[in-house]
Structure 1
């Protein structure tokens, strides 16, 4: 799953963090699921909030891929991460003692939107199963490690249509993030694709979706997804009780602008057990 070129790029990026900063600063990252500029704006503000609440220096470091976020967490180059369901499971498998501590109010019942270029003629359907009309199209997932943009959609497709994506579709791609999935399907580079419902809604709000060219054709069943995971050794590093203080700071986040940037209506407690369904699906698909 974690390819050497991605590991190398992550190593170069995190080499820029000085030893002093690594020792005295809580460093966190996030999966690059949307446009990088938006992510920078969102998480720089979160860093400021956490620094004020925890009375420690907090730094956000971007990564270039989902795999790089897991690598950085494994190598202790970051101590906290905003992961998707699958990347969180991967990270905790690699770093025993790590804990999922908080998730968005909406995240226990997350979902994916399957979208199609209007030229396909596919009509939206309301169903518990993936639409047969997707068969034979060109199709793009998001990142290969995305929960809402790959893992759960692949599970639903395989379960409902009885074949793997490579068998179902004329051509399969991986866009890298949700924003790019919208662009690729809207342009016709791929006839259909899948992304998180919040990313779709954000793209609509930003004016990046032309309803004359692309539309949602199926809404998946729900599953647990995004959450904050922290390494198990942060109490040793920042003082006894730090994990609980961090968890409470995330749950207490109520600034409308901060919450809107996720977008979430608030944060609630999370535990590793909440993501056992994601672990089981990943194992069933031979992805873990």
Structure 2
């Protein structure tokens, strides 16, 4: 039984992790693409930290927040709003990294070519009133929160008063598909998902086009629970953060897609919290 004694010593010394470290991500694209990209991220984090790391897929934005709140996951790739919601529910949790592009993120308003809506650099087109419109997920920062903020600012009315019909697609890829199919005249999407879809040939930008882009705002970030160091080791948070900031493999970064990650903290997302409070969207 000598091996049992050795294992006990290793556990006491903290060199063997008895638990699996779990993380998730908001489902902003179709599930197959998410599983492929985040299982590779799990392998990377395991290699960099020595932890046993597992990606846990979820079906909705609120499910990602719930998994974080219930300690089913210890780390999450959240949007701006879901991150604010999760940190409010789990005191001590921290935003530790964001994409280089996330400090100044944008939403695109897209429309089918047959709507006749023309791109306008200065403001949302007035002619979109009375058309049908789809957001992404109900608690998406780039697919709902900030688009609704700018719609209300432009028209001084709720989306339901502006449009003939308002929907929620669930994710950005679905929004693009619904507008492309003519199911909705106009939609709001994450600009990175749109740009990647155009580059991959998954959308014909002659049939669906960008008609306006929002001013920049803070968005996606990695958020970690405040009890991680107590549970997994004193330097776990620092190790996870360093691994994210050091991620340089182009194929890993392209899957987000981001050019790299930079340090973040909770204060960076004060504008999102303020906007969420104004629109009564802070509840998951």
Q: TM-score, normalised by structure 1?
A: 0.91
Write the distance in 2 (CA, Å) between the matches of 1:185 and 1:132. Answer: 19
Q: CA deviation at 1:168?
A: 0.4
Gaps in structure 1 of 5+ consecutive residues? 1-21
Q: Aligned residue for 1:196?
A: 190
Aligned partners of 1:130 and 1:220 also within 8 Å: no
How far 1:184 sits from its partner (Å)? 0.2
2:231 counterpart residue number: 237
- In the TM superposition, what is the alpha-carbon distance from 1:51 to its structure 2 partner? 0.1
Secondary structure of 1:224's counterpart equals coil
CA distance in 1, matches of 2:77, 2:88: 16
Kindly indicate whether the alpha-carbon contact (under 8 Å) linking 2:118 and 2:125 is maintained by their aligned counterparts in 1: no
SS in 1 for 2:144: helix
Q: How do residues 1-288 of structure 1 correspond to structure 2 at under 5 angstroms?
A: 24-127=19-122, 129-288=123-282
The match for 1:16 is none
1:116-141 alpha-carbon deviations (Å, 9 max, x no partner): 011100111111x3322221110000
Q: Quick one: distance in 2 between partners of 1:119 and 1:50?
A: 46
Q: Which runs of 5+ in 2 are unaligned?
A: 1-16
Structure-2 residue corresponding to 1:14: none
Normalising by the residue count of structure 2, what TM-score does the alignment of the two structures yield? Answer: 0.92
Greater C-alpha Rg: 2
SS at match of 1:237: helix
Q: Distance in 2 between matches of 1:285 and 1:131?
A: 22
Moved over 3 A (4+): none
CA deviations 1:220-249 (Å, max 9, x no partner) are 111000000000000001111211111111
For residue 183 of structure 2, give the secondary structure of its aligned residue in structure 1.
coil
Deviation at 1:23, TM superposition (A): 6.2
Q: Match of 1:106, SS?
A: helix
Give the drift of 1:160. Answer: 1.5
Q: Is the 8 A contact 1:122 1:133 kept in 2?
A: yes
Residue pair 2:94, 2:223 contacting (<8 A) in 1 also: yes
Deviates more, 1:207-216 or 1:163-172: 207-216
